[in-house]
């Protein structure tokens, strides 16, 4: 199937775009993170993705929304489009596109590990696979998620027992809700940044239990765990007597604590690690793989070493001789 990179993923054979940044006549939005989401003349997405997008920005006039459940199919004159769970954040979807040229699966952002706040990723047989590989390097092998959860809880308990406010630095959509769900089973009280509260309300509407939390007003954090996005801290809001931890897959890098100017780093990720990426390729049985986002060339090279026809979409694709 003809696949091109440019304003998202472009499938010229059926004139469909996946996750374009600029407005187009017809697009599928895989999930509500701002580097993927946008309103288009016709926007196809899951119900939860549309709700999360609306919570950030109203639907402009003249836009038609096609809201799909997982497993539900929408047909254009040249393609059948089906959304499958991606396991990344609430509402995140992989996109299965079936045309006369064959079957293509686009992963969007995804992970295969279990999550407390979104449906587990599915897979589907497809001749062509377009996959994100944010952590598509062998050095990214995430530890068991139960262990990471326990380490985060211990960090919070220890800080509170010393009269110090634990601050968890996490993106407002996805990671923060996962942290709320992890903390919901503990006796610890939680305060969250306003932007986290806005997104969490949509999770609540979709039946995800995030436990109790209060909105942070800049001073009501004493004795509580505080969850704020990393950019909030950079904008200068200071919390006295605090200890901060970044919550990200990039915590696997030894420089994570230094780079984020924090005290600890925990590798809780909403993306697949290298092993999960390989598993996903194998499960789809894809004959052709295009990599996008992250370690595209390295991961495409790893797949070629396994005998799989793989290319970094829009990348240089250095020959193995020179790697």
What span, in angstroms and rounded, lies between the C-alpha atoms of 32 and 83? 14
Specify the stretch interacting with Zn ion by CB under 5 A; choose among 3-11, 12-20, 108-116, 195-203: 108-116
Can residue 175 be called a binding residue for Zn ion (CB under 5 A)?
no
Name which of 217, 221, 225, 122 is nearest 181 in CA terms. 225
* Residue number, 89 or 156, with CB nearest to Zn ion: 89
CB of 166 or CB of 229, closer to Zn ion: 229
Nearest distance from C-beta of residue 174 to Zn ion, angstroms? 7
Identified binder of Zn ion from the candidate list 51, 109, 276, 302, rule CB under 5 A: 109
Q: Segment contacting Zn ion (CB under 5 A): 103-111, 178-186, 246-254, 312-320?
A: 103-111
| Least distance in angstroms from the C-beta of 205 to Zn ion | 20
d(CA 317, CA 126): 23
- Shortest approach of Zn ion to residue 32 CB, angstroms? 8
Task: Provide the minimum distance between the beta carbon of 76 and Zn ion in the complex, in angstroms, as a whole number.
Answer: 25
Burial of 79 (0-12, 13-18, 19+ CB in 10 A): buried
Instruction: Choose between 54 and 78: whose C-beta lies nearer to Zn ion.
Output: 54
| Subset of 186-225 contacting Zn ion (CB under 5 A) | none
Query: For residues 103 and 175, which CB has a smaller minimum distance to Zn ion in the complex?
Result: 175
Of 168, 223, 227, 221, the C-alpha closest to 200 is 227
Distance CA 86, CA 95 (A): 9
**Considering only residues 10-39, where is the footprint of Zn ion by CB under 5 A?**
33
Contacts of 135 (CB under 8 A, 6+ apart): 142, 249, 252, 269, 271, 272, 273, 274, 277, 294, 295
Residues of this chain that interact with Zn ion (CB under 5 A) are: 33, 109
């Amino acid at each position: 199937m003809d696949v091109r990179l440019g304003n998202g993923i472009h499938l010229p054979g059926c004139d469909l775009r996946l996750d374009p940044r600029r407005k187009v006549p017809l697009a599928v939005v895989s999930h509500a993170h701002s580097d993927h989401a946008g309103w288009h003349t016709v926007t196809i997405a899951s119900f939860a993705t549309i709700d999360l997008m609306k919570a950030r920005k109203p639907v402009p006039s003249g836009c038609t929304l096609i809201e799909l459940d997982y497993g539900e199919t929408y047909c254009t004159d040249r393609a059948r489009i089906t959304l499958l769970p991606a396991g990344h954040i609430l509402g995140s979807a992989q996109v299965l596109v079936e045309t006369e040229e064959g079957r293509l699966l686009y992963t969007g952002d995804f992970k295969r590990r279990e999550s407390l706040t979104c449906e587990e990723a599915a897979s589907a047989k497809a001749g062509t696979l377009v996959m994100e590989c944010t952590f598509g390097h062998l050095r990214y092998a995430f530890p068991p998620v139960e262990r990471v959860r326990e380490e985060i809880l211990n960090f919070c308990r220890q800080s509170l027992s010393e009269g110090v406010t634990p601050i968890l630095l996490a993106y407002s959509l996805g990671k923060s809700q996962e942290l709320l769900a992890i903390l919901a089973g503990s006796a610890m009280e939680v305060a969250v940044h306003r932007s986290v509260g806005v997104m969490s309300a949509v999770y609540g509407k979709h039946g995800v239990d995030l436990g109790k939390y209060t909105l942070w007003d800049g001073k009501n954090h004493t004795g509580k765990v505080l969850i704020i996005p990393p950019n909030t801290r950079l904008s200068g809001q200071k919390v006295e007597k605090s200890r901060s931890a970044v919550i990200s897959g990039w915590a696997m890098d030894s420089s994570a604590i230094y780079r984020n100017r924090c005290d600890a780093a925990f590798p809780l990720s909403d993306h697949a690690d290298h092993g999960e990426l390989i598993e996903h390729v194998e499960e789809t049985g894809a004959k052709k793989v295009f990599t996008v986002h992250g370690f595209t060339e390295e991961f495409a090279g790893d797949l070629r070493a396994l005998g799989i026809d793989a290319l970094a979409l829009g990348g240089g694709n250095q020959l193995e001789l020179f790697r």
